[in-house]
Structure 1
Amino acid sequence: MSETVLVLVEAVNEYLPLLEGSGFTLIRAPSKAERAAAIAQHADTITAVLTRGPLGFYAEEMAALPHLRIICVIGAGYEHVDLAAARDRGITVTNGAGANASSVADHAMALLLALVRDIPQADASVRRGEWRKLSRPTLAGKRMGILGLGAVGLAIAQRGALGFNMSVSYHSRRRREGVGYHYCASVLELAAASDYLIIATPGGADTRHAIDKAVLDALGPEGFIVNIARASVINTADLLTALQHHHIAGAALDVFDDEPEVPDELRALNNVVLTPHVAGLSPEASEGTVSLVNQNLLAFFAGQPVLTPVPYTP
């Protein structure tokens, strides 16, 4: 009998046949209503779940699926997967760490360039028949700070250092061995050492509002911030105040607190660049992500170690 996977994501639909080609039966349930209905109707057959960090998977849902054995998360973040409940039920959790790193890093650099060089405003001025010319900073030789030096953060660092001759500093839970970038002991220290601050850390309670007024003040009026990670890492109210009063020079955001809703105050600003959570979307990243899920599922159901396990925390 084939294993049955409850699929809660839809961004990778084009590549889901990879799973079907390996013999997995898929139940697609991307909406809340479909999700609840699928859990109720197929509780006796679902053995795996495919989700992503913001969608998560919760204790009551696990309890409703007596044969659930593995939860696969696309992307690195798994902030809304109840790891304690999974541990208690002996459910393995995997993530997609590294699968979309190149796509996210490319988008981070594109946002940084668009923001610092004022590309959206310049484009709009030409379309209005104006010829608005402003002197804007360069990236070359500037100080890049990265919060979170995982696969994505490391890919961003390489682009900044090798592509733009930027000096790179970072902060993460622990110093990363084997890299030559400068380690900062705190987020505040990192902001003070940065002209351009890139957020690439996972979401969750440990990083919630790691970027607040004090950090933004340390970044300063000539500093720019880019977030391609999770909106929860930045205190949005503090960010809005900093942008409105020019305590920082600008922000580029691919993630928001209540997606797809974006605060009117944010959309009204001309020192921001906004994209609809698309940093990890590319044909290459989507295929790589589903391929990694496929490998994890095949390994797990063959009784072998999964490739990218999420460690349970006490």
Structure 2
Amino acid sequence: MKKLFVSRALPDSVMAALAEHFDVTCRDATRPMGVDECRAALADHDVVLPTLGDAFTADAFTGDIRAKGLANFGVGFNHIDVDAARAVGLVVTNTPGAVTDATADTAMTLILMAARRAGEGERMVRAGDWHGWHPVQMLGMHVSGKTVGIIGMGRIGQAIAKRCTAGFGMKVVFWNRSDKSIDGADQLASVADVCTQADVVVTALAATAETRHIIDAEALSAMQPHAILVNIARGDVVDEAALIEALQSGAIGGAGLDVYEREPTVPDALKALENVVLLPHLGTAALEVREDMGRMALENAVAIAEGRTPPNPV
């Protein structure tokens, strides 16, 4: 039986399914793997199933390598140096599709929480500082009918657009790296153009060298003073220092974040702000979604082990 290394435990049903096909080794830890651990896993196993944050940098792909590929658990794979993996003959896969709706739902959660000041209100109640309803208490932004600007119009971006238009009657503008025709949405020429027009800006694109800090000080300065930034992509697509400055100065109205530039570190300056909603990377955190992701990763792992082209190569 082929040997599979799992970097962090997956739902029980997924672990049981993996064990039907592989001799499985799974780490007890929940923290990401370091480079030395990654290198050892590649040397001793036929397939490795990594996930967010595992340090598969170029240095991991040195020395003896037994593995034939990496069946990543998750759609994002910026923790893997794909070019370095391919250079030593490894296949890399991911789990697209399974995460789309759950991630889009998280975007909507953050849009509504940030716009309606829900995090701030919950803190008020818990602290015993709420003394009853009155007409001008905690007035937020009414989302219905506003303009949402989506940065990256792939599967997740389109799912967000659908929710915004069908559920809230929002106008959709977007920026995408390639031309794309989306019914009911207008593609704009630049990220700055989207930021200028939108009441809510949502990042929904892959983290690459080209997209790092695509939301920078210039993009933030183009946003309207009442506008909200939501990030459900990866932390480093937003210049976190520039965002903190924009929030502190009131240059933008607020933010909703599920991801951070140096996870799991969240700057104290962000935690001190009332006009930002902070979630612990909950994007796909629903059992059935994680089970779907696991089954997709299993299909990829089996194909890699058998020397077939996997369903979801990156």
TM-score, normalising length from structure 1?
0.90
1:176 aligned onto 2:177: no
Amino acid at match of 1:249: G
Q: 1:105 to 1:138 in 2, by over 3 A?
A: same
| C-alpha contact 1:197 1:224 (8 A) present in aligned 2 | yes
For structure 1, list consecutive stretches of 5 or more residues without a partner in the other structure. none
Q: 1:85 to 1:151 in 2, by over 3 A?
A: same
1:25 corresponds, among 2, 20, 23, to 23
1:68-103 per-position Cα deviation (integer Å, ceiling 9, x unaligned):
111112222111211221221121111111211111
State the 1:11 CA deviation: 5.5
SS at match of 1:182: strand
State the 1:207 CA deviation: 0.8
State the 1:149 CA deviation: 1.5
CA distance in 2 between partners of 1:44 and 1:212 (Å): 40
CA distance in 1 between partners of 2:231 and 2:10 (Å): 20
TM-score, normalising length from structure 2?
0.90
State the 1:193 CA deviation: 1.9
Cross-structure match for 1:95 = 94
Q: 1:13 to 1:207 in 2, by over 3 A?
A: farther
State the 1:253 CA deviation: 0.7
Cross-structure match for 1:111 = 110
CA distance in 1 between partners of 2:33 and 2:211 (Å): 30
1:144 aligned onto 2:141: no
CA distance in 2 between partners of 1:43 and 1:168 (Å): 44
1:171-192 per-position Cα deviation (integer Å, ceiling 9, x unaligned):
1211234544211221111111
CA distance in 2 between partners of 1:85 and 1:124 (Å): 46
SS at match of 1:197: strand
Amino acid at match of 1:15: V
Aligned length: 307
Cross-structure match for 2:270 = 266
Cross-structure match for 2:249 = 245
Cross-structure match for 1:304 = 308
CA distance in 2 between partners of 1:307 and 1:179 (Å): 29
1:3-58 per-position Cα deviation (integer Å, ceiling 9, x unaligned):
2122123454662222112x112222345678745854x66541111112432413
Cross-structure match for 1:230 = 234
Q: 1:48 to 1:33 in 2, by over 3 A?
A: closer
For structure 2, list consecutive stretches of 5 or more residues without a partner in the other structure. none
SS at match of 1:207: coil
| C-alpha contact 1:43 1:64 (8 A) present in aligned 2 | no
Q: 1:181 to 1:34 in 2, by over 3 A?
A: closer
1:150-206 per-position Cα deviation (integer Å, ceiling 9, x unaligned):
222121111111111111111121123454421122111111121100111111211
Cross-structure match for 1:157 = 161
SS at match of 1:139: coil
